[in-house]
Chains A and B, each alone.
Chain A
Amino acid sequence: MENEQHGNKKYGMVINLDKCTGCGACMVACMSENNVPFKKDETDKLKSITWMRLFKLSNKKSYPDSDICYLPRPCMHCAGPHEHGHSPCVSVCPATATDYSTETGIVSQIYTRCFGCRYCMAACPYHARYFNWWDPVWPEGMEKYLSPNVSVRMRGVVEKCSFCFHRYQLAMDKAYVEGRRELEEKEYQTACTQACPAGAITFGDLNNPEHKVHQLAQPDPEHDGRPRNPNVFRLLERLGTNPKVYYFSSREWVRRSGDNYLKDEVMPGAH
C-alpha cells in the first residue's frame, strides 16, 4: 500500500471546528476565486451553488443547554475504498467527466465533458456537487471580476470544489520553471484556507509527515486514512468513502454528529 503511494501526493484538509466561527469567509473566498455564479434569490439552498457550504450543527438540547457548531463542507475528494480512486461520484460518472488523480488525490470535474446526467450528485452523500440549473449570468459590468484561471461553467453541467486545482497548476508551473519537481507546503494553499480569519482550515499533503495536515490528522494507512488523532473525525467514515477532509473537535457531540450511529451504539474513541 505505502509503496504504491510513494511519491504521490494526497492533498487534504483538516478543519478545526473548535476554531471555525461560521463567518462564511471560506464560502465567499471560494465563490470569488472560482467564478461561482449567483442569482437574485439564493434562499433555496437546494439550488444554490456553494462549493464550500457551511452546515450548522446543533446538539438538539433545549435552552439554555443548547449548543451549536459550524461545519464547513468542501468536496471531500474521496479516494474510495483502498485508495483506488473509486470515489462515490467518480465511479459512477458514465462519461469520465470527473476523475480521481492518483498523483494529487484530487477529484477533478471536467465541465466541458460533463453532459449533465447528475448521477454523480446522486452518488455523493455530502451534497458537494452542484448542477447549473441556469445559465450563469452576471449583472452588467460585473463579469469584469471573473478570473481567467477558472473557466465559467455553462448551464447543464455539474460543478464542485476542486481544491483550487488551478492554484496547484500555477504553483507547479512556477516550480518547473525554477527547476523543481516538489512544492513547498505554503506554495499550494486553497482560497478558503487562505481567507479563513480563524485559521481553522489547514491544507496540505496528507502523505507528507512534514505537512501540518498529516500531523493533525495522523491518517492511518492501514485503515484507508482513518484519523489516529482521537479528536479528529471524517464525515460518514463508516460508508467507506475515504474522504480527505478531516475535522477536529474537542466536543464529543460534534464528533458524533459526523456519522450515523444506532441509538445505543458507542462511538469509537468516545470517552
Chain B
Amino acid sequence: MIDSALIPEGVKRCPTWKFLLALAVCGVVLLWGVIAMLLCWFKGLNQTNMNDYYGFALWIWADLGVIALGGGAFFTGLLRYVIGKDELKHIINYAVLIGFICYSSALLILAIDIGQPLRGWFIFWHANVHSMLTEVAFCLTCYFGVLCIEYLPLILENRQIDKVPFFHNLSHNFHEIMAVFAATGAFLSFFHQGSLGGVAGVLYGRPFGYRTGLLVWPWTFFLFTWSAAACGPCFTIFITRLTEKITGKQLVKPNVIHLLAKIAGWMLASYMVAKIADTLWWAFRTAPSEGFNWRDFYSNNALYGPWILFMEIVVCGILPALILTVKSLRERSGLLFTAVGLAALGVLLNRWVMVLQVLAVPVLPFDKWALYYPSWQEVATTILPVAYGVILIMISYRYLPIFPQERELNAVDSAV
C-alpha cells in the first residue's frame, strides 16, 4: 500500500483503493453540503425554508444535537483524568475525536446559520452577558480550543510525525498536562451544555420552552448538561460499536465499554428522574400559571402529539436506562447497542423538541401552529458535518492510533 508508512504499526487497514473509494463517496456528499453552504453564504438564508416563525430550525437542532452527542468527550475526559477511571484511557481518544468532530461541526453550522457571517465576531465584541447565546459562544469556542489541544497529541502520534523529536516531545508534554485541559474542558462543557439548555429555557415569552430554575439558570440548563453527560458517552459507545461492525474488528475491550455503559446508564437513570420531575412541574405548575394546559402543546397539529413525550421519556429514556444499569442486560451485545442507540436518539429528540417544537407552538391565542420542513440546502448543510465526520474518522482511524487496544485485540500477520 502506498500509504503504509503512515499507518500505525501492527494494525491492519483496508487496501488504499478501497479507502480512497469510500473517501470519494463521502467526498461527494461533502461536496453537496459545501455547495449548499456556499449558496447560503452568497445568496443568503432565503435558500432555507426558515421563516419569521422559525428563526431557529434544522441547523440549530443539529447544532444542539451534535453538541449533546459530543458530550462523550468531556464526560469521559472528566471520568478518566479527574475522577481517575483509568480503564477509560482505551476509549478516550475516540471520545475526543467524536467530540472534536461534533464541536467543529457545531461551529461551522453556526457560521452558516447567521444572517451576517462576517459580523459573527460581534458576539464577542459586543457581548451581552445576559444572553445565553453569548455564554454558548464563549464556552463553545474555548472548549473547541481545548478539544483541539486534546486532539493534537493524537495527530502527533502518527508514525511519521512522531519521528520528529520536537513533535515527539511535544506530544509527551501534552499528555502530562492533559488532565488540566480535561478539567478545564469539563468545566467549560458544563457551562455551554447548560447554556444551550438555557437558550430555550430562558424564553419567558415561549411557555413551551420556558422553565423556572435556580438563580439565573432555568432547569433546562442543568438538564442539558446532565443529558449530555448521560447520552454523550452512549453515543461514543454507539459509534465505537459501529466502527467495530464496519471494520469487522474488536477495537475496545468489553470491560471498558461496560464500565462506560454502566456509568452512562446511571447518569441516564438519574437524568430521567430529574427530567420527569421537571416535566411534571412544568406541565402542572408553570404552564397552567400562564394559561396553558399541557395538552395544548400536543394537540391541534399534524406532528407534535403526546407520542413525543412517550418516546423521549419512556422509549429513549427509561428503557435504555434500565438496560444500561442492569449488568446482565448491558452485557448482552445487542441490547447494549440498542440501548446506547436509543439514548442517543432520545437526546436528539429532546433537542428537537426544545428547538423546533418551542417555535411551532402558538403563543398568541389567535395564532396557529407553525410547521416547517427544511429545504434541500438545509438538509445538505446538516449532512455536511456527518460526511465530514465520517471522513475525519476514516482518516484518523487509518493513520492514528485511536484505539490503543486494537493491536492487542487483533494480532496481525506481519507478513502482509
A184 on the B face (CB < 8 A): no
Q: Are A115 and B114 in contact (CB under 8 A)?
A: yes
B127 on the A face (CB < 8 A): yes
A259 on the B face (CB < 8 A): yes
CB-contacts of A229-271 with B (<8 A): 235-236, 238-241, 256-263, 265
Q: Are B205 and A127 in contact (CB under 8 A)?
A: no
Shortest distance between the CB of B177 and any CB in chain A (Å): 32
Q: Are B126 and A261 in contact (CB under 8 A)?
A: no
Q: Interface segment, B115-123, B178-186, B261-269?
A: B115-123
Q: Are B291 and A241 in contact (CB under 8 A)?
A: no
A42 on the B face (CB < 8 A): no
A92 on the B face (CB < 8 A): yes
Q: Are B290 and A95 in contact (CB under 8 A)?
A: no
Shortest distance between the CB of A204 and any CB in chain B (Å): 25
Q: Per a CB cutoff under 8 Å, which of B114, B133, B204, B366 touches A239?
A: B204
Bound state CA distance, A145 and B350, in angstroms? 49
Shortest distance between the CB of A47 and any CB in chain B (Å): 5
Given contacts A86-B130, A94-B137, A97-B126, 19 further A-B contacts (CB under 8 A): A88-B205, A92-B132, A92-B202, A93-B128, A94-B128, A94-B133, A96-B126, A113-B126, A115-B120, A116-B114, A116-B116, A122-B203, A127-B52, A133-B44, A133-B45, A133-B51, A236-B205, A259-B291, A263-B293
Bound state CA distance, A96 and B206, in angstroms? 21
Q: Are A155 and B291 in contact (CB under 8 A)?
A: no
A-B contact pairs, 13 of them (CB 8 A): A58-B366, A92-B132, A93-B128, A94-B137, A114-B115, A116-B115, A121-B52, A131-B55, A156-B116, A241-B205, A256-B365, A259-B365, A260-B291
Which residues of chain B are near A88, meaning CB under 8 Å?
203-205
Q: Are B291 and A265 in contact (CB under 8 A)?
A: yes
CB-contacts of A83-114 with B (<8 A): 86, 88, 91-97, 113-114
A208 on the B face (CB < 8 A): no
Q: Are A92 and B203 in contact (CB under 8 A)?
A: yes
Overall SS of chain B's interface: loop
A132 on the B face (CB < 8 A): yes
Which residues of chain B are near A211, meaning CB under 8 Å?
none
Closest to B290 in A: A238
Q: Are B366 and A156 in contact (CB under 8 A)?
A: no
Q: Are A114 and B116 in contact (CB under 8 A)?
A: yes
A198 on the B face (CB < 8 A): no
- Count class of interface residues, chain A: 35 or more
A7 on the B face (CB < 8 A): no
Q: Are B133 and A125 in contact (CB under 8 A)?
A: no
CB-contacts of B250-268 with A (<8 A): none
Overall SS of chain A's interface: loop
Residues 10-39 of chain A, each 1 if its beta carbon lies under 8 Å from chain B, else 0? 000000000000000000000000000000
Residues of A within 8 A of B (CB): 44, 46-48, 55, 57-58, 71, 86, 88, 91-97, 113-119, 121-127, 129-135, 154-158, 235-236, 238-241, 256-263, 265
Bound state CA distance, A71 and B117, in angstroms? 36
Q: Per a CB cutoff under 8 Å, which of B53, B113, B122, B203 touches A123?
A: B203
Shortest distance between the CB of A99 and any CB in chain B (Å): 9
B107 on the A face (CB < 8 A): no
Which residues of chain B are near A115, meaning CB under 8 Å?
114-117, 119-120, 122-123
Which residues of chain A are near B160, meaning CB under 8 Å?
none
Bound state CA distance, A260 and B289, in angstroms? 10
Q: Per a CB cutoff under 8 Å, which of A94, A155, A158 touches B131?
A: A94
Shortest distance between the CB of B384 and any CB in chain A (Å): 20
Q: Interface segment, B319-327, B356-364, B407-415?
A: B356-364
B156 on the A face (CB < 8 A): no
Q: Are B53 and A127 in contact (CB under 8 A)?
A: yes
Q: Are B364 and A133 in contact (CB under 8 A)?
A: no
Which residues of chain A are near B127, meaning CB under 8 Å?
94-96
Bound state CA distance, A170 and B325, in angstroms? 68
Bound state CA distance, A265 and B50, in angstroms? 36
Bound state CA distance, A204 and B120, in angstroms? 37
Bound state CA distance, A260 and B366, in angstroms? 9
Shortest distance between the CB of B40 and any CB in chain A (Å): 10
